[in-house]
Every structure is written in structure tokens, then in C-alpha cells.
Structure 1
Amino acid sequence: MPTLYIIAGSNGAGKSSAGPDLLPTELIKKHSPFDGDKLKSLKQLEFRKQLGCSYKEAGKLADEYVDQTFELQYKSALEQNEDFVYEGHFTEEESWSLIRTFKKEKYRINMLFMGLATLEISLDRVFKRAMNGGHNVPVYEIEKNYYGNLYKLNQHFKLIDDLIILDSSEELVLHLATQKDNLITFHIPPDEMPLWFTAGLPNLFQSGSFT
């Protein structure tokens, strides 16, 4: 059975830097994760240099390029019945509709979700990344992604067959929960479960059990 692998979570949580290392090595060798944020940043700079357009206009062109490239890649995977790997944010229903599309095609859905304790951590990490030459993200998008990802995951977690939830706020990443075929297991004691998890994912939290 082919699998759709998704790396999701807050900006600055480590989706690009650490996420791929947490998936099967052979998978990543064969299927490099589609990273829309990184691709947009690269194409935006490229369009500015090539066309001499404004940063805003280059951003629109980059968005169009990313959307077209993503559509081509995921449709190709579906046509060939192959695994597909991508990272991103799931704050819109459209993102979950795509998951349903893969599910209808008999794909297994595997999500790695990387969360952070506070919005401030997310903002700080993106700022530091940008200062070091990495891609930047507007503040309003960081906030939207931080809360929106949790809100939508709390609504739709039952669509996911294999779900691993991590807290990457500190250097030592915590494995908080695992969901496999609608059976949710928590891996740390109730009094140590972070607030972002219990408050941000109340439906999921109430559906699980502690080991």
C-alpha cells in the first residue's frame, strides 16, 4: 500500500532540518520531501533577479510556481501509485481535502507533527533563521500557522492512520503521542503534558490513553 507522508507543525519547529531524519532513510533517498516554503523563498529571489520586479510581485510569481510544481508532483505520485512526501501547514480545509484525495486512492496517511510550547518560540526561531540567511516568514503567517495547524489537526486527526506528535521546544525533543489506526497512546505522564498539546488538541487529548 502506498503512503502519503506529511511533516507538519509550527514554523521553526524543525520540519525541514530534523523532520526528514525522522522518516525512513530509504524513503527519503527515493522521495525528497516537497518543501513549499523553501522553494518559494528560492524562486522569489530568482524572479526578482531575472525580471527586476518588486518583492511583492516576485512573491506572487513564486506562489504560482510552487502551486503548479506541487500539483504536478502529487498528481504524478497518484498516477504511479507511489509514496509521496511533503511538508507544510494545514490551516486550510483545502490541505485536508488533498489528504482525503490520497485516502480515497487507498493511500495510508502518515503524519509527523512537530509543535512548540509558545508562539514566541516560533517567532524567535524564524527571526534567527532569517538573520542567518534562511527563509523568512511574515509574523501574521507564523501566528496563523501556529494556532491554525493545531485547530485543524484537532478537527481532522481521525483522517490520519499513523500520527506521531513531538514537542521540539527544547534541544531534547519529546515524543508526546502516537496514533495508529485511531488508537492514541501518550508517552509522558499527564502532569508533564505541555499546555499547547492539551489546550490546542482537546479532542485528540480526550481520545487517548497513557501508557
Structure 2
Amino acid sequence: MPYLYIISGCNGAGKTTASYTILPEMLGCKEFVNSDEIAKGLSPFNADNIAVAVEASRIMYRRIRELVAANKTFALETTLASRSIAKLLQNAQEKGYYVTLLYFWLNTPDLAVERVRNRVASGGHNVTESTVRRRYTAGIQNLFQLYIPICDYWMITDNSLSPMEVIAKGFKNGKREIYNPVVYNKLETYE
């Protein structure tokens, strides 16, 4: 059975950093589709340019279609701020994929903004503050309203501090384990 891993969370949550350890070492996944990394490959000094980002997204979706058609295990990275990958996940499941979602949460949008600023200061890619804040909220809302119900397995972790803390995990059948009910309830009702 092929696996599709969704590495998700707001900008600055540590998705890419975690992916380079979790995917190959813990999950044995060698295919990682990440539009930010594709954009860097297209234009290393201008990866934040809208035209570059659009082309990177186009390449990302083409690669995802290729991997699904070949029945390959792979991972992709997303903020979940868009509803666009929901249909992709469902199509993959129809082809026999087991979809696992890992969500890296930060406890405030301010922390997300700060982490993006730190990343830029270290030479990483920028995301505007307004976009970080919009995606922070939309990602949490879509996580609960759209993505948790369709994923076979999901896990939410608090990556605000080190070491990260598992908040909750669950399955498509509704079975779930909540380790931090205060945070989980806050997220489930986040506006």
C-alpha cells in the first residue's frame, strides 16, 4: 500500500526542518514534494516572486500526479490554508493510498511571524506578515473542518518549544487520543 504524508502547519512552524528527519529516517519516505524548495531550485535569489511561486506550484502538482499514477509513497508540505489539496487526497485514497497528516502547530500567530523573520534573517524565504497571519487561522480551521475528516490518520503537535508535544492523534473512523485537551479544544473551536 502506498502512503501519502501531509506535512502541515503554519508558516514558520518547522515543517521543512522536521521533514528532513521524519520522512527519510522515521517513515522511510524518500519523495518529498515542496513548492518552496521547487521555487528555490527555479530561482534561488528570487524564489519569493509570484511568477516563480506559481510555476513552482504547477510543477509540484504535476509531480504529485506522476507519483500517484506510479503508486509511489511520497510526502508533500502545505499550510492547509487552501482547500485545494482535499480532492487530491481523496483521489489518492481512491487509488489505495493511506493518507497520514502531521500538523505542526505554533501557539500564536505572533510566534509564526517571528519564526519567518528569523528564517529570512538566516537567508530563508520570506512570507508577508499578513499572509502568515491569514494562513495561521485558515490552516487551523481547514484542519478540523476539512482535512481531519478525510485523512486516514492524523497527529497534531505543538512545535512552539523544544521538544515538541503531541496534542492529539486520531483515525478516520473517529477514534482519537487527546493528550492536551485544553489546547485541542482551543484549536477545534479556533476562529
What's the TM-score, normalizing by structure 1? 0.80
Residue among 161, 186, 201 paired with 2:178: 186
- After superposition, give the CA deviation of every residue in 1:128-148 in whole Å (9 maximum; x if it has no partner): 110111111111211121111
Residue among 133, 146, 149 paired with 1:143: 133
The alpha-carbon deviation at position 40 of structure 1 amounts to 2.3
Looking at structure 1, the residues matched to 179 and 130 of structure 2 have their Cα atoms a distance apart, in angstroms, of 32
**Aligned residue identity for 1:202:** T
Highest CA radius of gyration, 1 or 2? 1
Alignment of 1:13-52 (within 5 A): 13-23=13-23, 25=25, 27-28=28-29, 30-31=30-31, 33-45=32-44
Give the aligned partner of residue 120 of structure 2. 130
Is the helix fraction higher in 1 or 2? 1
The alpha-carbon deviation at position 44 of structure 1 amounts to 4.0
CA separation of 1:138/1:44 partners in 2, compared to 1, >3 Å: closer, same or farther? farther
- After superposition, give the CA deviation of every residue in 1:16-56 in whole Å (9 maximum; x if it has no partner): 1123423452623x32x11212332453445x5xxxxxx9x
Q: How many residues of Structure 1 are paired with residues of Structure 2 in the alignment?
A: 187
Instruction: Return 5+ residue gaps in structure 2 as ranges.
Output: none
**Aligned residue identity for 1:40:** A
Give the aligned partner of residue 94 of structure 2. 104
Q: Secondary structure at 2:84's aligned position in 1?
A: helix
Looking at structure 1, the residues matched to 37 and 116 of structure 2 have their Cα atoms a distance apart, in angstroms, of 13
Residue among 57, 73, 76 paired with 1:67: 57
Instruction: Return 5+ residue gaps in structure 1 as ranges.
Output: 49-54, 204-211
The alpha-carbon deviation at position 199 of structure 1 amounts to 2.4
Residue among 160, 165, 170 paired with 1:174: 165
Percentage identity across paired residues of the two chains: 22
- After superposition, give the CA deviation of every residue in 1:169-194 in whole Å (9 maximum; x if it has no partner): 01221011111243110124x4xx33
**Aligned residue identity for 2:115:** R
RMSD: 2.1
Contact 1:162 1:178 survives alignment (8 Å): yes
Contact 1:37 1:88 survives alignment (8 Å): no
**Aligned residue identity for 1:177:** A
